[in-house]
Amino acid sequence: MRKLLRHETILAVLVVLALIVLASQSDKFFTLDNILNQGRLMTEVGLIAVIMTFVIVTGGIDLSVGSILGLVAILIGVFWKNMGLPLPMAIGLGLVVGTFAGFINGIIITRFRVPPLIATLGTLALYRGIAEGISEARSVRGYPDWFFVLGQGQVLGVPTQLWLFGIVAVIAAIVLGYTTWGRATYAIGSNETAARFSGLRVDWIKIAIYSSSGFAAALAAAIFVSRVSTTRSDMGAGVELDAITAVVLGGTSIFGGRGTIVGTVLGLILIQALKNGLSLAGVKSDGTIVLIGAVLILTILISNLFHRNGNR
C-alpha cells in the first residue's frame, strides 16, 4: 500500500509542478472557464480510462474501445436519422450495442482463452470495419437542440458531462477500493490461478469488466457526438492509447494486480493540463504529444527508481 501512495505522491507533485509552470505562462490558464472547459474535453477519454483501470488491474487490456466509440457514434446517427427512432431510444440502443461489443470481447477472452491484447486487436479491426461499412463515409448531422445539453451544456455551472464523469469515477473508485468486486479484480490480476482456486468466478468477473468497458466507450460516444454535433466513422481512433497512457501514468501496473482510480484521474488531469497549458503557451499540439510520451516514460522510470523492483 505504501508503494501505491508513493507513485501517486510523485504524480501529484508532478501535477502541481505542471500547473504552476503552465499558469505562469498564461493568464488564461487558471480561469474557471478554462478549467471547466478542459474538464469537458477530458470526459470522453476519462470515462474510458476509469473502466480501463479495472481491465488493466485484472492483467488485461482493451484496445477495442476507440472502435466501439466509433461504432456506437455511427449507430446513434443511423438509428435516429435512417431508421427514424426517437433519439433517446437511439442512444439507449447504442449503449446496449456498446455493452454487447464489450461482452463479446469478454467471451472471446474467457471462453476461447485468447490473450486480451490479441482478442481486442481483432475486435478493434472488426468494430471499426463495421462502423465504416455502415456509415459508407457519410456523416450524420442536424441533431435536435436538447441533445447538445449533454456535450455542450451546463448543469449548475459545470459542464454536463463532467457531472457524469464525476459520478462514474466516484462509483468506480468505491467499487475498486472498497467492495468485494474490487478485491476480486485485484486478486485476478495478482494471481489468476489462485483467484480461481479461491472460488472467485473469474470468467464472470472478467466478462462483466469488459462489458463495462464497452458501455463506457458507448457513453463516451454519445457525449462525443453531442459535443461536436456530428457523427463520423473515424471518431475515437487512437483513444485507446490515450486512455492506457492515463491509466499507466496513474500508477496502474500493466501486468495487473496494482492500481487505483485516484491515480488514473491524476494521470488524466496531468495529460489534459499539459495539452491545454502548452497550447496556451503557444506550443503546437504535436509538440505536446511528444511531451506526453516523454512524461509517461519518465514518470514510470522515476517511480521505478524509488522502489527498485519496479512496475511489475
Partner 1 sequence: MTAEDAPPFRARRSGLARLFSAYGQEIVIACAILVLFAVVSTINPRFLGANNLNTIVSGNAYIAVAAIGMSMIIITGHIDVSVGALIGVLATISGTLAVSGYPIWFAWIAPVFVGMAVNAVVGVLVAYGRIPSIVVTLGMLSILRGGLVSVTGGAWINNLPPEYQLAQQRLFDIPAPVWFMILFTVLAALWMRHSAFGRSLYAIGGNAEAARAAGIPIERRTVQVFMIHGAIAGLATVLFATQLKIIQSTVPPNLELTIITASVIGGVSILGGTGTVIGSTLAAILFSTIGAAMIFINVSPYWLRAVIGLLILITVLVDMARRNREMRMARR
Residues that bind partner 1 (CB under 8 A): 63, 108, 112-115, 117-119, 121-130, 132-133, 135-137, 237, 241, 244-245, 248, 254-255, 284, 286-294, 296-297, 300-301, 304, 309-312
Q: How far is CA 4 from CA 47, 168, 240, 292, in A?
A: 22, 22, 24, 22
Q: Which three cell numbers stand for residue 146?
A: 436538447
Specify the residue, 126 or 175, whose C-beta has the smaller distance to partner 1.
126
State the greatest distance between any 2 C-alpha atoms of the chain, in Å, as a whole number. 59
Specify the residue, 23 or 121, whose C-beta has the smaller distance to partner 1.
121
Cβ atoms of residues 269 and 162 within 8 Å: no
Q: Find the shortest distance in angstroms from Cβ 226 to partner 1.
A: 25
Sequence length of the chain is 312
Q: How far is CA 115 from CA 56, 61, 128, 258, 280, in A?
A: 13, 9, 20, 19, 42
Cβ atoms of residues 38 and 18 within 8 Å: no
Cβ atoms of residues 279 and 41 within 8 Å: no
Question: CA–CA separation, 311 vs 104, rounded Å?
Answer: 30
Q: Find the shortest distance in angstroms from Cβ 217 to partner 1.
A: 16
Q: Find the shortest distance in angstroms from Cβ 42 to partner 1.
A: 17
Specify the residue, 18 or 162, whose C-beta has the smaller distance to partner 1.
18
SS3 content of the chain, % helix, strand, coil (to 5): 75, 0, 20
Write out the DSSP string of 3-14: HHHHHHHHHHHH
Q: Find the shortest distance in angstroms from Cβ 114 to partner 1.
A: 5
Q: Find the shortest distance in angstroms from Cβ 133 to partner 1.
A: 4
Cβ atoms of residues 53 and 172 within 8 Å: yes
Specify the residue, 145 or 309, whose C-beta has the smaller distance to partner 1.
309
Specify the residue, 75 or 184, whose C-beta has the smaller distance to partner 1.
75
Specify the residue, 1 or 112, whose C-beta has the smaller distance to partner 1.
112
Q: Find the shortest distance in angstroms from Cβ 187 to partner 1.
A: 21
Q: Is the dihedral of CA 280, 283, 288, 289 positive or negative?
A: positive
Q: Find the shortest distance in angstroms from Cβ 2 to partner 1.
A: 19
What is the distance, to the nearest Å, from the Cα of residue 252 to the centroid of all Cα atoms in its chain?
Answer: 13
Question: CA–CA separation, 41 vs 55, rounded Å?
Answer: 23
Specify the residue, 157 or 282, whose C-beta has the smaller distance to partner 1.
282
